[in-house]
Amino acid sequence: MHVSSFIIPVQYPFDFVSAATAHGWCQLAPMHWDAETETLVRGERLGSGRNILFSMRRLDEGLELTVRHDGEGLTEAERVEISQKTMTMLRLETDFTPFYELYSEMRGSSENILGKGHLLRSPTVFEDFMKTICTTNITWSGTRRMIGNLVDLLGEEIPFSDGARTFPSPEKIAAAPDSVFAACGFGYRAEYIRSSAQQIATGKLDMEAWQDESIPTGELKKRLLGMKGIGPYAASTMLMLLGRYDELAIDSEMKAFVIPRYFPGKSTVSERDIRGVYSGWGQWKYLAYWFDPTPK
DNA sequence: TTCCAGGGGTAGA
DNA sequence: TCTACCCATGGA
Strand C contacted by A232 CB (< 7 A): no
Which amino acid is residue A203, in one-letter code? Answer: G
pLDDT of residue A263 exceeding 90: yes
Q: For the segment A279-293, what is each residue's pLDDT rounded down to a tens digit?
A: 999 999 999 999 999
Q: Are A207 and A133 in contact (CB under 8 A)?
A: no
A56 confidence band (pLDDT: 50, 70, 90): very high
Nucleotides of B under 7 A from a protein CB: 4-10
Sheet of A62-69, strands arranged across: A2-8, A62-69, A51-59, A39-45, A31-34
The nucleotide minimizing the C1' distance to residue A189's CA is C8
Task: Give the whole-number percent of chain A exceeding pLDDT 70.
Answer: 100
Query: Which 120-159 residues of chain A approach strand B with CB closer than 7 Å?
Result: 135-140, 142
Distance A171 CA to B3 C1' (A): 38
What is the average pLDDT across A58-69? Answer: 97
Instruction: Count Cβ atoms within 10 A of the Cβ of residue A258 and give its class: 0-12 exposed, 13-18 middle, 19 or more buried.
Output: buried
pLDDT at A169: 98
The nucleotide minimizing the C1' distance to residue A145's CA is C10
